[in-house]
Amino acid sequence: METASTTVITTENLTRTFGANVAVNALTVTIQAGEVFGFLGHNGAGKTTTVRLLNGVIAPTAGAARIFGLDPTTHGHRIRARTGVLTETPALDNRMTARDTLRYFAEVYGVPAGERTRRIDELLGVFELGKRAGSKVGGFSKGMRQRLALARTLIHDPDIIFLDEPTSGLDPVAIREVHQMIEQLSHRGRTVFLCTHNLAEAERLCDRVAVLAQGRVLAIGATQELGSQLNRGHRVSVEVNADDVARAVNLFTQTPPVSLAEPVLDRAAARQGSAFITLHGAGRADVPQLIRAAVQQGLELYRIQPEAPTLEDVYFALQEL
C-alpha cells in the first residue's frame, strides 16, 4: 500500500478526442495516496472517459498519465490489478448468486484461493448481503445491486477505487452507507476517485475537487480555496422575527458592505414565527457592524451567521466564467 505522501496519479495535458468531440481537454492533475478526489461535472463533461484513460482501457489522443508511476497505455493490466472501478450502471449477471458473483471476480483478480472465502464473507457482511448470499442477483433491489457492485469493486483490496456516481438511484439509508464506506477507505489509506454531479456529496466527502465543463478542468482545490479564489464575497445569514422581514431587508440593504439583502424561504423557520435573510457582500468581519445597525434600529436578531461559499456556489460560478 502507498503511503499518504505518495503521488499515485499524475496527468499532464491528458487529452482524448472522438472525431470532432473533445471528451478530455488537456487534463493536468496530481493526486496523493489516501485522498478522496472529486471529479465534478454534468453528464458528458468527460468524467467517465477520464476513468477509462487512467485505467488503460482507451489510449489518449495527446498528453500523458502515470498511475503508480506506470503508463496506462502500456501497463494497463498492471494498473487494473491495483484499481477497482465501479461504473455508473454496473453490469451484473442476474443468473448468479451474490456469493458466486464475488467468487468469480475474486478468481479474475487473482485473489489467493486461501483468502477468497474470508474476503467474500467479509464484504457480504460489510454490505449487509450475508442473508442473501445464496440468492440470485435478478431478484435484488436497486440498492442491493449497487451494494453488490461495490463489494465486487473491492474484492481484490485495490489501492485506488474509481467510483462513477456510486449513490445514483439509492435510498437515503444506502447513500449514508456508501458515504461511510468511502470515508473508511480513505482512513485505511486507499485513494478514492469520485466522479459525481452530486455537489453536496462531494462537499462532504472530498479533500479536493476538480470542476469540469466540456472536458476541460475549470479549477482544482478544496472548496474553501476555490471559494476564496472566486473573490465574490461571503454571505451572512440573519434570522429575524417574521413580522420584521421588510424592515430588516431595508435596513441591511443600506448598511455597507451589504450589496443585496434577500429573504429566504424556510418553512421550518416560518412555523416558529421567524424568517431568514441572506446578506450578500458581507462576511465575518462585518458581523459586529451589522449587529450594531440592527440594535440602533431596535431590530431583534435571533441569529446571525457568516457563511463561506458552498461547493454549489463555486460550481455554478465557475460554469459562468
Confidence of residue 283 (pLDDT cuts 50, 70, 90): confident
Average pLDDT score, the chain: 91
Asked if the model's pLDDT at residue 24 lies above 60, the reply is: yes
- Examine the domain organization and report whether 122 and 188 are in the same domain: yes
Please write down the HEC assignment for all residues of the chain.
CCCCCCEEEEEEEEEEEECCEEEEEEEEEEEECCCEEEEECCCCCCHHHHHHHHCCCCCCCEEEEEECCECHHHHHHHHHCCEEEECCCCCCCCCCEHHHHHHHHHHHCCCCHHHHHHHHHHHHHHCCCHHHCCCEHHHCCHHHHHHHHHHHHHCCCCCEEEEECCCCCCCHHHHHHHHHHHHHHHHCCCEEEEEECCHHHHHHHCCEEEEEECCEEEEEECHHHHHHHHCCCCEEEEEEEHHHHHHHHHHHHCCCCCCEEEEECCHHHHHCCEEEEEEECCCHHHHHHHHHHHHHCCCCEEEEEEECCCHHHHHHHHHHC
Average pLDDT over residues 137-145: 90
Please report the pLDDT score of residue 181 as a whole number.
86
Judged by average pLDDT, the poorest of 3-12, 115-124, 221-230 is 221-230
Asked if the model's pLDDT at residue 34 lies above 70, the reply is: yes
Confidence of residue 231 (pLDDT cuts 50, 70, 90): low
Select from 173, 203, 228 the last residue of a domain: 228
- Which CATH number is 251's domain given? 3.30.70.260
Please report the pLDDT score of residue 227 as a whole number.
75
Give the domain extent around 123. 7-228
Select from 181, 201, 228 the last residue of a domain: 228
Average pLDDT over residues 144-165: 93
Give the total number of structural domains in the chain. Answer: 2
**Per residue in 84-117, pLDDT tens?**
999 888 889 999 999 999 999 999 999 999 999 9
- Examine the domain organization and report whether 121 and 244 are in the same domain: no
**Per residue in 235-274, pLDDT tens?**
899 999 999 999 999 999 999 999 999 999 889 888 889 9
Please report the pLDDT score of residue 316 as a whole number.
84
Asked if the model's pLDDT at residue 2 lies above 80, the reply is: no
- Examine the domain organization and report whether 34 and 137 are in the same domain: yes
Please report the pLDDT score of residue 233 as a whole number.
58
Confidence of residue 214 (pLDDT cuts 50, 70, 90): confident
- Which CATH number is 182's domain given? 3.40.50.300
Asked if the model's pLDDT at residue 171 lies above 90, the reply is: no
- Examine the domain organization and report whether 35 and 129 are in the same domain: yes
- Examine the domain organization and report whether 153 and 260 are in the same domain: no
- Examine the domain organization and report whether 161 and 270 are in the same domain: no
- Examine the domain organization and report whether 188 and 276 are in the same domain: no
Is residue 2 one of the residues assigned to a domain? no
- Examine the domain organization and report whether 272 and 216 are in the same domain: no
- Examine the domain organization and report whether 163 and 295 are in the same domain: no
**Per residue in 55-82, pLDDT tens?**
999 999 999 999 999 999 999 999 999 9
Please report the pLDDT score of residue 44 as a whole number.
81
- Examine the domain organization and report whether 118 and 199 are in the same domain: yes
pTM for the whole structure: 0.81
Select from 166, 201, 228 the last residue of a domain: 228
Is residue 169 one of the residues assigned to a domain? yes
Is residue 318 one of the residues assigned to a domain? no
